[in-house]
A and B are shown apart, each in its own frame.
Chain A
Amino acid sequence: MDFFITIFNEALYRPIFNFLIFVYNVIPGRDFGIAIIIVTILLRILLFPLAHKALKSQKALQELQPKIKEMQGKIKNKEEQAKKLLEFYKENKINPFSGCLPILIQLPILIALYRVFLHGLDPSSLDALYPFIQNPGTINPTFLSIIDLSKPNYWLAILAGVSQYIQSKATFQKKDKPGQGMLNSDFSKSMTMSFLYVMPVFLVVISWKLPAGLPLYWVITMLFSWGQQVIVNKGFKKTLSTVDK
């Protein structure tokens, strides 16, 4: 187990932490909160191409929607429907999902990021700096000279819940998301509904006691994926109107 922790620390935690401190050193004003925002957005931009690929797949799917509907009518069994649908994707060389591997690669990165924001403000964490990164000595934990990011902040905790709600709402807005309609069985529909309301509350409760750097990270992440979702939804609407014509 120690072996895995060492690999995780050296391959992910330290590079991200060093990058964060580098950004902190470079930006004017020395604001740890702004550094968190910049690093979060940069990481999200790096992961953007995959989301874009999904968007293109969604558009292609929209054109095949009538065929899918027809197929859906023929088969009643939900399990069979899901199976046939994925076979159909394969035949048409499209798939709205980018697969499990990309998620499993990203998760450790996000966990590392989370740990960096959690421990980044401990004075001892500066020992993990590479020799070529300037040691700032002490880190100023105040964000916009109001919020102390090393201590819990109730406002940011609530904001984390609100942004999570806005993001999920945008994701689950369309009932007939192409391709997913069939995969969303009754079970996942009820899951979705409880998820929409339970998750934000859960997030506020968790964030209540955590250093405010983490809810700040979560707010930025959620706002970014919300923006991404809005773009995808717009693209979806556009193709829908051209199909109608």
Chain B
Amino acid sequence: MKEILLSVLKIYKIVLSPIISTVFPYYGCRFWPTCSDYTYKAVETLGVVKGSFMGIKRVIRCSPFSKGGADDINIYHKI
């Protein structure tokens, strides 16, 4: 399950992400690392359930209402 999810995220990053950025030129991610990298790391380190939950939470935060900036998963992981 974990492997599948990680490969889906990889495929998203390589194939879908460039397509999206052409159709929506200025809709990029407001954070570093980007939401997809963040979710990848989260799933890799925290497992499928907690990792996807963290990823979803991150995407919801990633809107014009947030300030953006650096927001790394390792910070949470260490705590």
Q: Which residues of A contact B (CB under 8 A)?
A: 50-51, 53-55, 58, 82-83, 85-87, 89-90, 93, 95-104, 106-107, 164, 167-168, 171, 180, 183, 188, 191-192, 195, 199, 221, 225, 228-229, 232
Contacts and interface: CB of A to CB of B under 8 A. Distances in A.
A83 B32 CA distance: 5
A82 B31 CA distance: 9
Interface stretch (B2-10, B20-28, B41-49): B20-28
Contacts of A86: 30-32, 68-70
A97 B20 contact: no
Given A50-B27, A199-B19, A89 B68 contact: yes
Count chain B CB atoms within 10 A of each CB in A89, A97, A225 and give the residue with the most.
Answer: A97
Contacts of A232: 25-26
Interface of B: 18-20, 22-32, 34-35, 59-64, 66-70
A106 B61 CA distance: 16
A188 B34 CA distance: 14
B66 to A, nearest CB: 7
Nearest to A180: B28
Contacts, number: 100
A58 B27 CA distance: 13
Contact of B27 (A85, A99, A221): A99
A79 B52 CA distance: 24
A90 to B, nearest CB: 3
Nearest to A104: B59
5 contacts: A83-B70, A87-B70, A89-B68, A96-B28, A100-B62
A50 B30 CA distance: 14
A50 to B, nearest CB: 7
Contact of B67 (A85, A93, A228): A93
A46 B27 CA distance: 15
Contacts of A188: 18
B40 to A, nearest CB: 14
List of 7 A-B pairs having minimum Cβ-Cβ separation, nearest first: A90-B69, A54-B26, A97-B28, A99-B62, A101-B63, A100-B62, A86-B32
A95 B67 contact: yes
A206 to B, nearest CB: 12
A133 B23 CA distance: 32
A61 to B, nearest CB: 11
Contacts of A167: 22
B73 to A, nearest CB: 13
A192 B21 CA distance: 10
Contact of A97 (B22, B27, B59): B27
Contacts of B28: 96-99, 180, 183
Nearest to A179: B28
Given A50-B64, A95-B68, A99-B64, A106 B25 contact: no
